[in-house]
Structures are given as structure tokens and as C-alpha cells.
Amino acid sequence: KAGVTQTPRYLIKTRGQQVTLSCSPISGHRSVSWYQQTPGQGLQFLFEYFSETQRNKGNFPGRFSGRQFSNSRSEMNVSTLELGDSALYLCASSFGTSGTDTQYFGPGTRLTVL
Amino acid sequence: GENVEQHPSTLSVQEGDSAVIKCTYSDSASNYFPWYKQELGKRPQLIIDIRSNVGEKKDQRIAVTLNKTAKHFSLHITETQPEDSAVYFCAATGDNDMRFGAGTRLTVKP
């Protein structure tokens, strides 16, 4: 089975712009969770989608949003980028929800905001 | 929501020694506790997990113990090798989202 994939792998944007990141889960997995990873803050939960519905949301501003499609692929969007949004964005997929099944991570998208 | 604390933040051991990383959680409803290893520049990878109906689980040199009463769980690595050097994350989850500890940077000196 192919693993979790994320595109693009690297992205450079300027403040004020918006960005869309994509995550393709392992085939058959219905849950996709997104995390922000920074050296100082570790892995911070953004949100989880299960069967096209947002199941949980972490403590991030409304500039961070996401969605999931019928094929379980997920996108996250960040609007009005700030310097502090520079981070590695990881998605993880699982067959069931993150509370029940093992999550498998993608390679991440490294976002740099200038 | 769940809050997970992980200690120590850095750990340096000599090759062959044991390493122990401890995590505490706040939500008594949490019932699934995975451990991930992240090597430099790579994605986190699951190395072992435990569910709340089990007190201990072993996989070769790696073991995890869970104390539900005290709400803490630990990762034990025996006979450490240089390739064990990485950042290790614990996590806890129940019906809600998965929350991660801040990570432990383990360095195994040859």
C-alpha cells in the first residue's frame, strides 16, 4: 500500500498571501488529521476530518481551515500568512478516528513565510 | 482537552545503556497511547502503542508501561544503539483528538 503523501513538499510565501496544502491518505483510510510542527512547540493539533466532516479542531485561529473530499483526500488552507506560520505541516491518516486507530504520517510540507 | 507532558526533553546515554522517557496525561478518558520516533528530516513513525486495557507491552528492545491510576506511561529502550538517536513523541487520545508530548531528543553515544 502506498503511504501518506503530501504536496507540495516545500513552499515559500510572503506575508499576507494564502496557501493550500494537500494530503492523500493511505487507501481505505477515512480520517485525516493535520499538525503543525515547529522547533519550539512540537506537534500541535490543527484539525481532524473523518468522512468529510471536521471532527475536532485545535487551538488555531480561523485563518487555518481545512476540508476533506469524498475520496478522503484533504486540503488545509492558511489565509493571510504571518511569519509565525513558518513550520512543517504534517498530515496523518488512520482507518478509523485518531482516537481509535493508529495514525500514519506523511512526509510533511515545509512552509516558509517571508 | 487532553494535556500531555513529556520528560526529559533531552536524554543522552551510552551505547548499550537503557533509556526511559516518561509522559503524563490529564484526561482520564484517554485510552490509546502511541509512541512515535522521528529521525532528522523524516516523518514521525509509530514504534509501539498501548491501549488502556493493557499494563505493559514489549517489542524486542522497546517496551511501554501504562499506569492508568497515576495517568502516566513510559517508553523503555534497552541495549540502546546509535540508530536509536532521534526525537521521540508520546501521545494520548480517547474520543477526542490526539495530543502529543513536546518530544524527547535521545542521543546514543557510541
Return d(Cα A108, Cα A65) in angstroms, integer.
17
Helix (H) or strand (E) holding B99: strand B99-100
Q: Do A99 and B89 touch (CB under 8 A)?
A: no
Q: What distance lies between CA A29 and its chain's CA centroid? A: 15
> Comparing C-alpha atoms, which of B73, B98, B75 is closest to residue A94?
B98
A103 chain-B contacts, CB cut-off 8 A:
34, 46, 98
Q: Are the C-beta atoms of residues B98 and B23 closer than 8 Å to each other? A: no
Q: Are the C-beta atoms of residues A106 and A100 closer than 8 Å to each other? A: no
Does residue B95 register a pLDDT over 70?
no
Which position has the higher pLDDT, B29 or B15?
Answer: B15
B52 torsion bin: left (phi>0), alpha (psi -120 to 50), beta (else): alpha
Taking only the tens place, the pLDDT of each residue in B33-82 is 999 999 998 999 999 999 888 899 999 999 999 999 999 999 999 999 99
Q: Do A100 and B101 touch (CB under 8 A)?
A: no
Give the least confident one: A82-86, A90-94, B54-58, B76-80: B54-58
Angstroms from B17 CA to nearest CA on chain A:
27
Q: Do A106 and B36 touch (CB under 8 A)?
A: no
Among the partner residues B31, B43, B97, nearest to A98 by beta-carbon distance: B97
Q: Do A90 and B45 touch (CB under 8 A)?
A: no
